[in-house]
Chains A and B, each alone.
Chain A
């Protein structure tokens, strides 16, 4: 009986290991070296307008023809009113304005064919932190364009691996859903291309994968064994 239990445990462990074949490979991956693709983003105005709580971000890799072949980031939602960092506009409303915007929620997807993968499976995970640092240029109180640093941290599903990403974003347009940009998302993350929103480019992507700090560690096999001694 004891032998059978041990055998069953071994089989279960083997199945579990096979199901999780090939964790993402630790390392740093950059678009400027060609290791990964740049991308495009949209931000729906599900909250009612630019910079409103409830707006949802959707970013996808872009290979020049097709969206989302290598990575996606879906549905971080603007969680609070953007914090004003500085405002250098003059009396006529011409100058720059900087905001820091914190988002909550969201998930990511990485293709198995990326440099982090061994081809066995795609990877998914959850965002733990997502922020934009955005600089607008205004003329006569009208925003002309913006650049942004987008940054997020998250953890992988099924592995004790964490991810950090930094990227440059820049506005391209606003209004109704354009083609060849990620579909607008509602606050509940459902696609809704009938929404208004804004969209732009994602460049200079820096992505690192590493062991999560101990506070985020899932239980080890040793820990599990101690529970059943």
Chain B
């Protein structure tokens, strides 16, 4: 009987280890150093147009040929009207407007083969504190482009207390259209607005009959912190000790 229990424990443990082999490694990872791929993003105009509540972000790594081989961010939803924090527009509509936009919800996916590899084939988690600070550039009242600081935090699934902090630059490539095939598809997250709770993204489907904008993501810093074996995980030594 004791042998059978030990064998069962071994199987259970093996299965657990094969699924959750270990948390990602703590550290700082930079795209400028080649440790993180740069990426591409789309933002669907779920709210009806640029900067509208309900708009949904989708960002994926880009290796020059394929999207999403290393990381992905799915469905942060613009939760409040963007706040204007700076303006230099002149009487002819030339200059800048800088907006700060807060999003809620969303999830992330991180390959297990990066420099942060800890044994799992991939890592997932929820996104929180997602913010864009965007400087829109106008010529004669028309937007000719924008540059953005994007930031968010992530809480890893399975590995309690393990967090990710990310900052990046982004820039507009196209808007009020359907992104080309080599940009992330437009997504619809939800529910939007104040009912959406941090980390909640119970809907993240491809958006239908919606336009959006798209662009490039660069200068990424990814910080992984506080990662250790989850208290829910047990080592083989731990399992054996239960049956001694």
A residues sitting closer than 8 Å to B (CB atoms) are 28, 30, 32, 85-86, 88, 94-96, 98, 100, 129, 131, 133-137, 139, 144-149, 151, 153, 162, 164, 166-170, 172, 201, 203-204, 206, 208, 210-211, 213-215
Q: Known contacts A144-B221, A151-B135, A162-B94; is A210 also within 8 Å of B140 by CB?
A: yes
What separation, in Å, do the CA atoms of A172 and B221 have in the docked complex? Answer: 11
The proximity string for B residues 165-201 relative to A, scoring 1 for CB distances below 8 Å and 0 otherwise, is 1111111010000000000000000000000000000
B residues sitting closer than 8 Å to A (CB atoms) are 28, 30, 32, 85-86, 88, 90-92, 94-96, 98, 100, 129, 131, 133-135, 137-140, 144-149, 151, 153, 163, 165-171, 173, 216, 218-219, 221, 223, 225
A137→B165 contact, CB < 8 A? yes
A147→B223 contact, CB < 8 A? no
Q: Known contacts A133-B133, A204-B216, A210-B139; is A147 also within 8 Å of B91 by CB?
A: no
Contact among A30, A169, A170 for B145, CB-based, below 8 A: A30
Sampled A-B contacts (25; CB under 8 Å)? A32-B171, A86-B100, A94-B225, A95-B165, A96-B129, A139-B28, A139-B223, A144-B28, A147-B167, A147-B169, A149-B147, A151-B135, A162-B90, A164-B95, A164-B137, A166-B146, A168-B148, A168-B169, A170-B32, A201-B32, A203-B218, A204-B171, A206-B145, A208-B94, A213-B91
A133→B149 contact, CB < 8 A? yes
The 4 A-B residue pairs with the shortest CB-CB distance in the complex, in nearest-first order: A170-B219, A204-B171, A168-B169, A149-B135
What separation, in Å, do the CA atoms of A88 and B147 have in the docked complex? Answer: 22
Contact among A95, A139, A149, A164 for B94, CB-based, below 8 A: A164
What separation, in Å, do the CA atoms of A41 and B189 have in the docked complex? Answer: 38
B85→A100 contact, CB < 8 A? yes
B137→A206 contact, CB < 8 A? yes
B91→A129 contact, CB < 8 A? no
B88→A166 contact, CB < 8 A? no
A170→B169 contact, CB < 8 A? yes
B167→A96 contact, CB < 8 A? yes
Contact among B91, B95, B151 for A135, CB-based, below 8 A: B151
A151→B32 contact, CB < 8 A? no
Tell me how far the C-beta of B136 lies from the nearest C-beta in chain A, rounded to whole angstroms. 8
B residues less than 8 Å from A133 (CB atoms): 85-86, 98, 133, 135, 149
A203→B219 contact, CB < 8 A? yes
B residues less than 8 Å from A129 (CB atoms): 88
What separation, in Å, do the CA atoms of A151 and B223 have in the docked complex? Answer: 27
A residues less than 8 Å from B225 (CB atoms): 94, 139
Tell me how far the C-beta of A100 lies from the nearest C-beta in chain B, rounded to whole angstroms. 7
- Extra A-B contacts (17), CB below 8 Å, given A98-B149, A131-B86, A164-B137: A28-B139, A96-B167, A135-B133, A137-B165, A137-B221, A144-B223, A145-B30, A151-B98, A166-B135, A166-B137, A168-B170, A203-B169, A206-B137, A208-B94, A210-B92, A213-B91, A213-B94
